[in-house]
Structure 1
């Protein structure tokens, strides 16, 4: 039986309910297209996209959102979190379970009630927040259920942004630009990564913005040999490089950007940066509706392959953005990527390259796919900053 808390306002929903209903309908259409009878959404980013609720209460056990044609969306959540889900989501049908070991039985009871116990149900098998033990527990409760991998189903719908979403992402990238500009203005001999990070946080806060907490990489000097580096007390000295990757955020939507700088001169990273920009610009020029993710990646890779540093590029060209920076199952601009780009998709494209001595250095852009090609969302020049 659903639990109701009508007195609690839905203060956590950033968009009108009609926006979420539209998203849910698009997912239901994808469920039918993939010949599924239902879907259990468990990835935090996908839950936030479809309901408004951030999903963080599901760290202890899954909070599946059950979607099936002809049925109201149903949230199966821990009883402890029911009030938060009620207040911060657009879902009215909420079924609680008390302990972790109760999750599978309660979820199975809902599926039986909906007549789905022997049907083909999609699970996000390749995403975070669904463990193999969770899948086994559901299957034990419903041995006749046919489980299908629906890792990319919600991601494919969420990839195309509405105008409301694009407005939020433009607000987020404005904070990203402010953060990068503060990074550049703060560079001087002896300043530490932590001091620059504090200056960035202060400026963004004064502007009324926010940063995605886990999306700050700020590294100086020899620490640019680290692929990810949270700000430390390490100072920058003359003739050393500095690099930042940071994302402004709004309503869970983050817009990342990578920029490099050099205090004085540093030939190796300066050269890496130039190659990164060349590959990035070529990839951006290839973006348009109808091309595949793999084709865009191949353009960037070709530029680097014909350079004197063919082994410099050791990751993907970019990835789908929106709610939750690092959700698994999202579109990736990588070798062989078969997803077809559509107008309204957004991508972060970090072309970070490895140097001969181990330094990692590069540049990125955040782009929106339009009918005319790629629109650059950032207003920060991609030229190497020299302090």
Structure 2
């Protein structure tokens, strides 16, 4: 029955209370009577604790009125929230035990709302039973409300993202210690995973070591493929710091001198990534940043080999708003943090990607990752 504690350092109570107040106001602006926030990054953003999503309902009710928010918890999970400063946050805590109906408890707290918004990642098990319990209320997603609160990071969040970027840069600086012919991707990945923790992360959230043809799969992971002389290897790694903010950075390595075709394509990729970073500033749209990279690759005949968006937001989640992609006309604002990561993938042969996390500043851009962008050639 044991559950791993998800408690980690949280912002101070004043910061959390201000976030709850902003969430309340944002719900009202969206003509929503209440937010129903389940365990996950949105809950962590609001109360400093992510909790865990299990078969028993845990949910934070944030009304759009002046009524106090309510944290509804199974009694056996309540000790895991002991460090949440609920009194300072003005949050009521209501517990329930097996045999009671927590969905009816939530409905009684809500009264007769016309519209409620549930967490995007809440399990269907809970979403459907809440819908039945709060009969007559329109049920929508809380994502459109929460993403407006979370997209622009405050100073403390940006400082945490800088620390995360510095930590993952230190890991990339050591990849040459482990990446060599005769070793498998899995063996290299195990060394990288250990280093990610050594450099201050709580764990490695992902470790991609894509060698040779595996590098043409952007979300490859690792395998038992043995690294060979002449391979190009994509290394995409990241994870959270104790305070919950994530790193994510990709560099591409060559084991021995690469073929001329690869050198030429990589140089175009480097210019595309650099151009996209330069394009970042307030008022520019996410679409325009994507186009800055995509146009260079397309003009060089490599556009069809770039098969994903240019970037994604990052914070308490590795992937969150804003998404830097074609068709997204969202204007960038100071405090937004996201990846810039164009790639080239020649199926069955090789792949390459360059990824930095950047932050929109008042008048431009701050790259958080500072490792060199050149193709790193290691001894064969």
TM range (shorter): 0.7 to 0.9
What is the match of residue 234 of structure 1?
225
Q: 2:175 aligns with which of 168, 180, 183?
A: 183
CA drift at 1:248: 4.4
TM-score by length of 2: 0.88
1:32 aligned to 12, 28, 52, which one? 28
Q: Which residue of 1 aligns with 2:37?
A: 41
Partner-residue secondary structure (3-state), 1:255: coil
Counterparts of residues 366-385 of structure 1 (less than 5 Å): 366-385=357-376
Higher deviation after alignment, 364-373 or 20-29:
20-29
Long gaps (5+) in structure 2: 1-5
Matched, 1:323 2:316: yes
Match of 1:274 in 2: 267
d(CA) in 1 for partners of 2:267, 2:25: 45
SS of equivalent residue, structure 2 residue 248: strand
Gaps of at least 5 residues in structure 1 are: 1-9
CA deviation map 1:87-145 (0-9, x unaligned): 35656422234459934222212212xxxx23222223xx22332x5333222222221
The answer as to 2:191 corresponding to 1:195 is: no
The CA RMSD over aligned residues, in Å, is: 2.5
CA shift in 2, pair 1:217/1:35, >3 Å: same
- The reply to whether residue 95 of structure 1 matches residue 94 of structure 2 is yes
Distance 2:269 2:57 in 1: 40
Measured in 2, the distance between the counterparts of 1:162 and 1:367 equals 15
Whether the 8 Å CA contact 2:180–2:255 is kept in 1: the answer is: yes
Matched with 1:5 is: none
2:213 and 2:348 in contact (8 A); partners too: no
Higher mean C-alpha displacement, 69-78 vs 361-370: 69-78
Would the aligned equivalents of 1:189 and 1:238 in 2 still touch at CA under 8 Å?
yes
> 1:104-183 maps to which residues of 2 (within 5 A)?
104-112=103-111, 117-124=112-119, 127-131=120-124, 133-183=125-175
Equivalenced residues, count: 367
Residue in 1 aligned with 2:286? 293
* Structure 1 residue 85: Cα displacement: 2.0
CA deviation map 1:149-172 (0-9, x unaligned): 332211221111111111111111
Over 3 Å counting, the alpha-carbon distance change for 1:280 and 1:75 in structure 2 is: same
> How far does residue 21 in structure 1 lie from its aligned partner after superposition?
1.4
Aligned match of 2:10 = 14
| Deviation of 1:272 (Å) | 4.0
Deviation at 1:377, TM superposition (A): 0.4
Give, in angstroms, the shift of residue 64 of structure 1: 2.2
CA deviation string 1:29-73 (max 9, x = no partner): 2222222222112361111111111222x1335532211131222
